[in-house]
């Protein structure tokens, strides 16, 4: 797919670069350890009250120690922050960008305290998860509610917080992944390239969470999480076919499973899938981590180390496509989404850009969207206890 920014853009040229009524953007992410001493406290933060088996935690700790105790995710977010600030400045959008995490410094509550101290009253949130699910959406909304409650407890009047719609099907998210898939195909030996399978991969979640992902009225169709990923996978596979003239077989597969073995999670696992592909005579595969926004630990360990080792044992040539990371097209997409939502909040009717079959996602998560097993207050949705 060629680079045609004008065609990719969903904002009209005449649209003023005004984010009003918003006065700040919050980049909200997972967080990760920055050294060996951080690993265990980080994992304690992640798993507090979440019932993850001890064996799994030891294993995950080892993944981090293999990389010197440093997760790539914080550096990825620093790069995304820079890309967003550069893009906003280049387009005359005067909107400060803050960064806060769920599980490690800079912690969300500290960031929102600073946002309030800087005098900002309406904050729009960009979460580093593109899809609907409890882990990727409502849990972040619960974290926002907790942070707002903490500020109230300190006598600080917290800002009003909204969250950008899911961006999985925005061209600024999909098109960099098309290019990355083409690049990863190009890294395969030429003689196996044309027959290569595309393994689109995302985080496995419990099937019960997948089935109830997205708005309550959509439950029953298998949930928004899988449907959204299938739409993105089909878009990328089709764009790759147009570009290469070759229809590469593809499948949506899963990785990074945790939880007790008797609880069903989404399958097949990427490693089992590679084994099956090899047994079925596939000459090669490209792993495309569409479920993730940056090349963080789930990508660097679970794909580049674990799945790559399995492929090497099998003798199956495998490459891995890059995630969008700080791609300027993704930064531009965030700007478009900010301007779109700001216009909607002002009562205007902006163009809402989306590729694929599902259409643009909702701005406000309705009541019952991606429900938690144990209900807790969640901000930035129709059931938010905050104005």
Ligand X SMILES: CC1=C(CCC(=O)O)c2cc3nc(cc4[nH]c(cc5[nH]c(cc1n2)c(C)c5CCC(=O)O)c(CCC(=O)O)c4C)C(CCC(=O)O)=C3C
DSSP 167: -
Contact call for residue 47 and ligand X (CB under 6 A): yes
> Cα–Cα distance between 219 and 221 in angstroms, integer?
6
Burial string for 193-203 (b: 16+ CB within 10 Å, else e) reads beebbbbbbbb
Q: Is 32 in the site for ligand X (CB under 6 A)?
A: yes
Interaction with ligand X in 297-356: which residues (CB under 6 A)?
A: 297-298
Binding mask 285-304 for ligand X (x = CB under 6 A): ------x----xxx------
22 is in an annotated binding site: no
Taking CB under 6 A as the rule, does residue 128 contact ligand X?
yes
Q: How far apart are CA 162 and CA 95, in angstroms?
A: 15
Tell me: does residue 258 bind ligand X (CB under 6 A). Answer: yes
**Residue 384 interacts with ligand X (CB under 6 A)?**
no
Task: Return the residue of 111, 125, 133, 319 that touches ligand X, per CB under 6 A.
Answer: 133
- Burial label for 166, CB within 10 Å (0-12, 13-18, 19+), is buried
Contact between 205 and ligand X (CB under 6 A)? yes
Does residue 203 touch ligand X according to CB under 6 A? yes
136 binds ligand X (CB under 6 A): yes
In 237-302, the DSSP E strands lie at 250-255, 285-288
For 57, left (φ over 0), alpha (ψ -120 to 50), or beta? Answer: alpha
Query: Rule CB under 6 A: is residue 366 a binding residue for ligand X?
Result: no
Question: Any idea which residue has 């207050």 for tokens?
Answer: 377
Q: How far is the CB of 372 from ligand X (least distance, A)?
A: 10
Backbone dihedral region for residue 259 (phi beyond 0: left; psi -120 to 50: alpha; all else: beta)? left
Check binding of 244 to ligand X (CB under 6 A).
no
Q: What secondary structure letter does DSSP report for 263? A: S
Task: Tell me which stretch binds ligand X (CB under 6 A): 45-53, 182-190, 316-324, 364-372.
Answer: 45-53
Question: Min. distance of Cβ 135 from ligand X in angstroms?
Answer: 4
**298 appears as a binding residue in the annotation:** yes
User: Does 52 help bind ligand X (rule: CB under 6 A)?
Assistant: yes
Q: Which is nearer to ligand X, 98 or 168 (CB)?
A: 168
276 is in an annotated binding site: no
On the CB side of 16, how many CA atoms lie within 13 Å of its CA?
8
CA atoms of 10 and 177, how far apart (whole Å):
19
Q: Is 286 helix (H, G, I), strand (E, B) or coil?
A: strand
**Candidate residues 22, 30, 168, 200; the one interacting with ligand X per rule CB under 6 A:** 30
Which of 378, 348, 385, 386 shows the shortest CA–CA distance to 137? 378
Q: Output 158 or 289, the one with its CB closest to ligand X.
A: 289
Compute and round to an integer the Cα radius of gyration of the chain: 21
Applying CB under 6 A, among 72, 106, 328, 356 the residue interacting with ligand X is: 72
Q: 254: annotated binding-site residue?
A: no
Binding site feature residues for Fe(2+):
203, 298
What residue numbers does the annotated binding site for Fe-coproporphyrin III cover? 71, 140
Point out which residues bind ligand X (CB under 6 A): 30, 32, 43, 46-47, 50, 52, 56, 60, 71-73, 128-129, 133, 135-136, 203, 205, 256, 258-259, 291, 296-298
């Amino acid at each position: 797919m060629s680079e045609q920014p004008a065609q990719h853009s969903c904002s009209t040229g005449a649209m003023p670069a005004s984010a009003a009524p918003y006065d700040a953007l919050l980049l909200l992410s997972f967080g990760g350890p920055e050294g060996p001493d951080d690993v265990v406290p980080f994992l304690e933060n992640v798993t507090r009250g979440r019932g993850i088996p001890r064996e799994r935690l030891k294993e995950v700790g080892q993944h981090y120690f293999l990389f010197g105790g440093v997760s790539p995710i914080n550096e990825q977010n620093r790069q995304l922050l820079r890309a967003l600030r550069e893009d906003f400045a280049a387009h005359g959008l005067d909107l400060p960008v803050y960064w806060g995490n769920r599980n490690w410094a800079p912690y969300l509550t500290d960031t929102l305290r600073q946002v309030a101290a800087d005098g900002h009253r309406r904050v729009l949130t960009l979460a580093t998860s593109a899809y609907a699910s409890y882990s990727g959406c409502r849990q972040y909304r619960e974290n926002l509610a907790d942070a707002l409650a903490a500020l109230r407890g300190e006598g600080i009047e917290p800002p009003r917080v909204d969250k950008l719609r899911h961006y999985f099907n925005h061209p600024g998210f999909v098109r960099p992944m098309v290019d990355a898939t083409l690049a990863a195909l190009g890294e395969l030996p030429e003689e196996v390239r044309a027959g290569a399978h595309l393994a689109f991969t995302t985080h496995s979640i419990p099937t019960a969470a997948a089935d109830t992902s997205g708005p309550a009225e959509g439950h029953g169709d298998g949930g928004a999480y899988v449907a959204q990923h299938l739409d993105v996978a089909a878009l990328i596979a089709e764009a790759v076919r147009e570009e290469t003239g070759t229809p590469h077989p593809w499948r949506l597969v899963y990785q990074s499973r945790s939880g007790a073995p008797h609880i069903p999670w989404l399958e097949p696992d990427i490693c089992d899938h590679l084994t099956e592909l090899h047994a079925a005579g596939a000459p090669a595969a490209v792993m495309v981590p569409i479920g993730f926004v940056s090349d963080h630990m789930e990508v660097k360990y679970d794909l580049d180390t674990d799945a790559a080792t399995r492929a090497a044992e099998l003798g199956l040539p495998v490459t891995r496509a890059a995630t969008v990371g700080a791609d300027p097209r993704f930064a531009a997409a965030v700007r478009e989404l900010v301007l779109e939502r700001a216009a909607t909040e002002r009562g205007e009717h902006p163009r809402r850009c989306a590729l694929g079959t599902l259409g643009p996602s909702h701005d406000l998560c309705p009541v019952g969207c991606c429900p938690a097993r144990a209900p807790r207050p969640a901000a930035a949705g129709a059931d938010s206890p905050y104005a």
